[in-house]
A and B are shown apart, each in its own frame.
Chain A
Amino acid sequence: MDTNTKIVDLEKVVIKFAGDSGDGMQLTGTQFTDTSALLGNDLATFPDYPAEIRAPQGTVAGVSGFQIHIGRIDINTPGDIADVLVAMNPAALKANKNWIKKGGTIILNIDTFAKRDLEKAGYETSPLEDNSFEGYNIIQAPITKLTREALKDSGLDGKSIGRSKNMFALGIIYWMFNRPMEQTEKFLQNKFAKQPEVVAANIKIMHAGYNFADTIEALPSSYTVLSANLKAGTYRNVMGNQAIAWGFLAAAERANKQLFLGSYPITPASDILHELAKHKNLGVKTFQAEDEIAGICSAIGASFTGSLAITTTSGPGLALKGEGLGLAIMAELPLVVVNVQRGGPSTGLPTKTEQSDLMQALYGRNGESPSVVLASSTPGNCFDWAYMASKITLEHNTPVVLLSDGYLGNGAEPWKIKSTMDMPEIHPSIAIEGEEYQPYARDEETLARKLALPGTKGLEHRLGGLEKEDITGNVSYDPENHENMADIRSEKINRIADIIPNQKIFGKEEGDLLVVGWGGTHGSLYSGVDNLLKTGEKIALCQFNYINPLPKNTAEIFSKYKKIVVCELNSGQFANYLRMNFQGTIFHQYNKIQGFPFTTSELESHFKTLLSK
């Protein structure tokens, strides 16, 4: 490093990598994430990519982005706006122009600012020539040219040379934030083990970027973000989808069950299938079915046979699974249905996040068919909620819907590695050979029936979707019995409230404003509330993970605040659910349906308005 350069210590910083969907921005962002995590920063990431695999090159629709927020302090969101933007073409600049801090640093690949490139991005004149970016620190880096130059004797073809441009950008950012490059070098050596020339080229370009940044005077300082004050322990990065998969693996191992996943690919849930498919060594059986219906039905078959059975999907897939889920409710079989929500209705916004499947999860079936509904709220706690969903379903023999979302599923954060032994025990409710067996006899406390698994001598019995007679499980059309059974199915779920912990809040125990959220909005709501607490406001956050049943102390919490605002990425589904359950309580709403998470600043300003009224 040039000795003239000052090193400035930062509390936190938001960096955004943006480029064409073929520019390798996701990889660049992930590399920066892994390196920062190894240095001990707290962090949160937000990959944001187009629905099309290759949208027209150079257009705003084709821009793929990766935002990362790193810090020495508690980081809960990927950040509202970026301090540093890397834009590989004019379209990336245009798409992010409102998401970069005034006065921030913008690193541009200036070789892509020819007239044609500008036109594709929809610019009539170059934004660099008018005063659109006045006051910003614009670094015009000839990334394409320097990459070509550095690799002209590498023997690589033009296409492969073009592909290593992203490493130049990564090198610049590594210099800016004073990060070592070893982690990425190791990564490249592994990834391209069979193509040493590609490894060499990529490493060379990353160093070229680093040296470029070191030499030019345009970057006045290099920054460092010291390691965060995380709790002691061993850490790694996890993404929500990966953590969900691992939570199920852990639950299966603790419950001594085989894990079975029946699934059909759908964005943004497929990564759970991909992750579990890798781990056959741990005994997991994954079945890529012909559609979502076969996905859930195969899982129910496996559950009937004694597996911890799960099915994973996103909104449109949950719609297809409705009838199967109803059968699992009637047959009182364990089953976890994971819905990684995306923008809807219909195909909607496949790669964007939303919380608009809550009502579908709670009520989207024929008949009186109550289901347990849980929601994870950070990428890391996806592990815990997958585990809890498994525990509840196996112990109570009733299906559980676990709601995650695209933001959690693809987002990453440092995760303090848990041991499976840290997790609570799981005691599946199963009859054994020789026992007097009635398929619909129940545990007095939980009302859970017992399963009898095929292959168990003497416990042969028949299940089905026709109404069951209490205790015997025989088909029954008796009117009183039907009503009784409907009551039991619902009461069985209500009683789960007896075993779940009390709802916790963050902030003031009582006060002026209670912010209510559920699931994936935790990070932004927490940051918004935290900021206002620091200014002395009497505010608190109540973020729900147990949706059905709700924790028993919910009403009591609600009674302690002058105002309650329910914030969610839909048009008010949880607010309406709470109105049904707590009649008389007034719930204000704050909603957003743009496919993006809340920003901390929009929340803060809304909370301030509510507090001042």
Chain B
Amino acid sequence: MEHLTNKDFTSDQEVRWCPGCGDYTILRAIQKALPALGKKKEDFVFISGIGCSSRFPYYMNTYGFHTIHGRAPAFATGVKLANPKLSVWQITGDGDALAIGGNHFIHALRRNIDINILLFNNEIYGLTKGQFSPTSKKGIKTKSNPHGTTDEPFSPSDLAIGAQGSFFARVVDTNPKLMQKIFIEAEEHRGTSLIEILQNCVIFNDKTFASITGKEVKENAQLILEDGKPMLFGAEMNNGIILNGFKLEVVTVGENNVTEEDILTHNAKEQDPTLHAMLARMRPPEFPAALGIIRAVSRQTFDEGILNQLEYEKENAKFKTVDELLKSGETWEVES
């Protein structure tokens, strides 16, 4: 197999996001991650809905389809079912996936179709110029709610877990290395891999994630989870997460008799989603935000299930051609 580089995945189209938009780093991270997967370029398909983020497929030199608002999971499902050998990536925004496309989003996760969903969460509608979205912080003032929103936001992780999602990861647009690593692992996971990317919209919602990604705060505001490793974070890696009763708590190793043994060890493969949900909900200032792969459990994929049935039926069914079907059942002859 020829060796591919990020250049092979770069299309000839001029990239048109606003200068400084977080989407650029995500695009570069994907273009760098794909060659590492050892797949053929023609086997990648990028499917998007509508939004700034959804322009993404035009910039990838792969098969791509920029579809309609909110429905990308349905298109991606059709692509994957039609040809399960393809590596299918869905690009979506917080409005696209969680407002107009909420229904398709939860059902893709429920079925566990083997696709990767990159959810560009900028907590705003970028393309339509700055209305609030289902993830916007309560009270934010936008053009469509100048007096501040009264909507309660929800978190993609809660939807994913509620819908029996088998893979949930979170990354930030300021950490390209982590993005690349997680994109690769997402593709290797069999089933619907949902990656929430905290993405900065410089124009309509600048710095909405500053309390997580800000240079001065990030060491204490980010917990990068690794499977099988203790949940430690901070400049000295001596802050950690423990379970106190039914609640998570931040502690410091070496203080109040806390030792490293007391710190929770991350188990992304645990089927019970309770702890995963609690970790995914953590937010500064009380907690660091959890990044990395929060949940990756194994269960049958939708495409696998369908293929198995198809194979079985082909082997065992009465007829193998349409003509045999047409002639089956009660028939009678009319003579001339």
Say whether A associates with B. yes
Query: A interface vs B, CB < 8 Å?
Result: 34, 37-38, 40, 183, 227, 230-237, 246, 249-250, 253, 258, 260, 262, 279-283, 285, 287, 289-291, 293-295, 297-307, 309, 323-324, 327, 331, 416-421, 454-466, 474-475
Please give the distance in Å from B41's CB to the nearest CB on chain A.
7
- Of B65-73, B235-243, B252-260, the segment with at least 4 beta carbons within 8 Å of chain A is B65-73
Are B74 and A294 interface neighbours, CB within 8 A? yes
| Across-interface contacts of B325 in A (CB, < 8 A) | 246, 249, 279, 282
Shortest Cβ gap from B147 to chain A (Å): 32
Beta-carbon contact of B79 and A463 below 8 Å = no
Chain A to chain B contacts (Cβ below 8 Å), 7 pairs: A262-B78, A289-B107, A298-B78, A302-B82, A457-B42, A460-B41, A475-B13
Given A285-B310, A305-B83: A465 and B104 interface contact (C-beta under 8 Å)? no
Q: Which of B47, B83, B86 has the most CB of A within 10 A?
A: B83
For A299, the chain B residues whose CB sits under 8 A away are 78
Which of A250, A262, A293 sits near B322, CB closer than 8 Å? A250
- A45 nearest CB across to chain B (Å): 15
Q: Is the CB of A287 within 8 A of B68?
A: no
> Which residues of chain A have C-beta atoms less than 8 A from B57's C-beta?
462, 464
A236: B residues at CB distance < 8 A? 326-327, 329-332
A261 to B306, CA, bound (A): 13
Is B188's CB within 8 Å of the partner chain A? no
Which residues of B, 29-80, contact A by the 8 Å Cβ criterion? 40-43, 45, 47, 50, 57-58, 60-68, 71, 73-80
User: When the two chains form their complex, are residues B310 and A280 in contact, meaning their CB atoms are under 8 A apart?
Assistant: yes
How far in angstroms is the closest Cβ of chain A from B164? Answer: 14
| Contact across chains for B78 and A302 when beta carbons are under 8 A apart | yes
B152 on interface, CB distance cutoff 8 Å: no
Q: Which residues of B contact A227 (CB under 8 A)?
A: 334
Docked complex Cα distance between A306 and B45 (Å): 13
How many Å lie between the Cα of A168 and that of B172 in the bound state?
Answer: 73
Are A455 and B58 interface neighbours, CB within 8 A? no
Given contacts A258-B82, A417-B327, A457-B42, contact A301 B322 (CB under 8 A): no
Interface flag for B320 (CB, 8 Å): yes
- A319: shortest Cβ distance to chain B, in Å? 15
Closest to A458 in B: B42
Top-6 shortest CB links A-B: A301-B78, A281-B317, A464-B66, A297-B74, A298-B78, A232-B336
CA distance A290 to B75 in the complex (A): 13
Least CB separation from B310: chain A residue:
A280
Residues in chain B within 8 A of chain A (CB atoms): 11, 13, 40-43, 45, 47, 50, 57-58, 60-68, 71, 73-83, 85-86, 103-104, 107, 306, 309-310, 313-314, 316-323, 325-327, 329-336
- Asked whether B332 lies within 8 Å of A290 as measured between CB atoms, the reply is no
Cα distance A249–B315 in the bound complex, in angstroms = 18
Closest Cβ–Cβ distance, residue B106 to chain A (whole Å): 8
**Out of A249, A307, A464, which one reaches B65, CB within 8 Å?**
A464
Interchain CB contact under 8 A, A235 and B317:
no
- Cβ–Cβ contact A283 & B323, under 8 A: no
Q: Pick the contact of A282 from B60, B61, B78, B322 — CB < 8 Å?
A: B322
User: In this complex, what residue of B is CB-closest to A327?
Assistant: B68
Contact partner of A280 (CB less than 8 A), chosen from B13, B314, B333, is B314
What is the chain A residue whose CB lies nearest that of B86?
A454
Residues of the B chain whose Cβ atoms lie less than 8 Å from the Cβ of A301: 47, 65, 74-80, 82
Let me know if A260 and B331 touch, CB within 8 A. no
Q: How far is the CB of B11 from chain A (nearest CB, A)?
A: 7
Nearest Cβ distance between residue B320 and chain A, in whole angstroms? 7
**Which residues of A lie under 8 Å from residue B60 when comparing CB positions?**
462
Query: What is the CB-to-nearest-CB distance from A306 to chain B, in angstroms, rounded to a whole number?
Result: 6
Task: Given A34-B330, A460-B42, decide whether A285 and B82 contact each other with a Cβ distance below 8 A.
Answer: yes
A462 touches B310 (CB 8 A): no
Closest to A290 in B: B107
Cross-chain contact B326 with A293 (CB below 8 angstroms): no
Task: State A297–B78 Cα separation when bound (angstroms).
Answer: 7
**Chain B hits for A309, CB < 8 A:** 78, 82
**Given A294-B77, A303-B78, 11 additional A-B pairs, CB 8 A:** A34-B330, A262-B78, A281-B313, A287-B77, A291-B103, A298-B74, A301-B78, A302-B78, A307-B82, A327-B68, A462-B58
Which B residues are CB-close (under 8 A) to A295?
Answer: 74
Please state if A454 and B43 are interface contacts (CB–CB under 8 Å).
yes
Give the CA-CA distance A142 to B74 in the complex, in Å.
56
Within the complex, what minimum Cβ distance (angstroms) separates A271 from chain B? 16
Given A293-B71, A458-B42, A37:B332 Cβ within 8 A = yes
Minimum C-beta distance from A181 to chain B (A): 15
Question: Contacts of A419 on B, CB cut-off 8 Å?
Answer: 323, 326
Contact between chains at B40 and A457 (CB < 8 Å): yes
Which B residue sits closest to A295, measured CB to CB? B74
Closest B residue to A231 using CB positions: B334
* Residue from A183, A294, A303 whose CB has the most chain B CB atoms within 10 Å: A294
In the complex, chain A residues whose CB is within 8 Å of the CB of B306: 285
B73, B81, B86, B329 pick with most chain A CB within 10 angstroms: B81
Chain A residue with the shortest CB-CB distance to B104 = A294
Taking CB atoms, residues of chain B closer than 8 Å to A234 are: 327, 331-334
Contact between A454 and B329, CB atoms less than 8 A apart: no
Q: Which residue of chain B lies nearest to A232 when distances are taken between CB atoms in the complex?
A: B336
A105 to chain B, nearest CB (A): 28
Complex CA–CA separation, A246 to B310 (angstroms): 18
